[in-house]
């Protein structure tokens, strides 16, 4: 009986030691260790996030420095005068006739920079238009083309041209009284000759089918059966053709394929012999605009 009591007491102590040791391991050792590991992982993630932020800040800083080098001079009135003079020199260089260059008042944008609006008008050929765009995008100024208006004149060789342009003045621009003389890297090619194909005569104006082409209009850009569809109206005959992307449009000897239909902008892109032409709603085929290779 005496030994039995000792055995039970020993078993009871072993049970206390087992459960007590497990509690001690879990709460006194493993818990703090797991907490320390979680805290270490949290700190390491915080360090990694901060490093990513610093890398992004450095990239933004380098980008801002580049933009400041391209910016117009920091004085907005000086910038306005110099950039307008540059635009006048450009239209004279490409020999647009009846040209004019107008500048609007500087506009503050969110208190961060100034936008200077300009409007250029003139008359010229597609070759002159391409040369104007080539020199514009080749220049290193911090500017962009807003809209381009192209209106064909009688004969099909001359066009009334209009351009809305925005140029920017950033704080910290490194020049106060002159424009940048650098060049941009936005063009796919630095050789104007590579863009000659754009200035070639619109394929939709050639041959004996000119009258039919002139009277074929893009009259609708709709969604049909869940797919975008372009409607072309032939006013001479009253016929209407409804085409999906990938289908061919043939008017006389002029043949093209509708490659893209944009429901939002209400326009289509037609490809003919490797050249892509942009046609907006309400325009006839002779008003299609040849897209640059990068578009």
We find that the CATH architecture of domain 203-290 is Roll (2.30)
Q: Exposed/middle/buried for 288, CB within 10 Å: 0-12, 13-18, 19+?
A: buried
Res 209: pLDDT: 47
Sorted by sequence, the CB contacts under 8 Å of residue 50 that are 6+ apart come out as: none
Q: Per-residue confidence of the chain (295 residues) as pLDDT tens digits? A: 555 555 555 555 555 555 555 555 555 556 666 677 777 777 777 777 776 666 555 554 455 556 778 788 888 899 999 999 999 999 999 999 999 999 999 998 877 888 999 999 999 988 899 899 999 998 988 898 888 888 877 666 788 899 999 998 888 776 778 888 888 877 778 888 877 766 665 544 544 445 677 788 999 999 988 899 999 988 867 788 999 999 998 886 678 899 999 998 889 999 987 888 889 888 888 888 888 766 6
CB neighbours of residue 174 within 10 Å: 13
In this prediction the pTM is 0.53
Bridge partners (DSSP) listed for residue 230: 221, 243
Q: Are 224 and 243 in contact (CB under 8 A)?
A: no
- d(C-alpha 244, C-alpha 249), whole Å: 10
Give the homologous superfamily in CATH for domain 76-196. Answer: Ribosomal protein S6/Translation elongation factor EF1B (3.30.70.60)
- d(C-alpha 169, C-alpha 161), whole Å: 26
- d(C-alpha 208, C-alpha 21), whole Å: 100
Query: Which strands form 239-244's sheet, in the order they lie side by side?
Result: 216-224, 227-234, 239-244
Res 159: pLDDT: 86
Bridge partners (DSSP) listed for residue 164: 119, 147
Res 170: pLDDT: 85
């Amino acid at each position: 009986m005496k030994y039995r009591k000792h055995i039970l007491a020993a078993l009871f102590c072993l049970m206390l030691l087992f459960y007590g040791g497990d509690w001690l391991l879990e709460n006194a050792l493993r818990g703090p260790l797991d907490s320390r590991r979680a805290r270490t992982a949290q700190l390491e993630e915080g360090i990694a996030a901060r490093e990513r932020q610093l890398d992004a800040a450095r990239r933004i800083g380098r980008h801002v420095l580049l933009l400041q080098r391209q910016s117009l001079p920091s004085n907005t009135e000086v910038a306005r005068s110099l950039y307008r003079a540059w635009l006048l020199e450009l239209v004279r260089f490409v020999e647009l006739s009846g040209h004019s260059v107008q500048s609007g008042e500087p506009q503050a944008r969110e208190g961060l920079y100034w936008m200077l609006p300009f409007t250029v008008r003139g008359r010229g050929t597609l070759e002159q238009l391409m040369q104007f765009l080539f020199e514009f995008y080749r220049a290193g100024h911090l500017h962009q083309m807003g809209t381009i208006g192209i209106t064909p004149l009688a004969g099909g060789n001359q066009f009334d041209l209009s351009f809305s342009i925005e140029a920017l003045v950033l704080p910290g621009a490194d020049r106060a009284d002159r424009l940048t003389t650098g060049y941009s890297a936005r063009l796919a090619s630095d050789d104007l000759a590579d863009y000659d194909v754009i200035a070639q005569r619109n394929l939709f104006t050639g041959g004996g089918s000119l009258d039919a082409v002139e009277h074929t209009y893009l009259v609708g850009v709709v969604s049909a059966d869940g797919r975008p569809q372009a409607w072309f109206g032939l006013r001479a005959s009253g016929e209407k053709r409804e085409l999906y992307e990938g289908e061919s449009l043939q008017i006389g000897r002029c043949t093209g394929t509708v490659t893209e239909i944009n429901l939002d902008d209400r326009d289509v892109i037609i490809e003919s012999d490797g050249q892509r032409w942009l046609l907006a709603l309400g325009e006839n085929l002779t008003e299609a605009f040849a897209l640059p290779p990068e578009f």
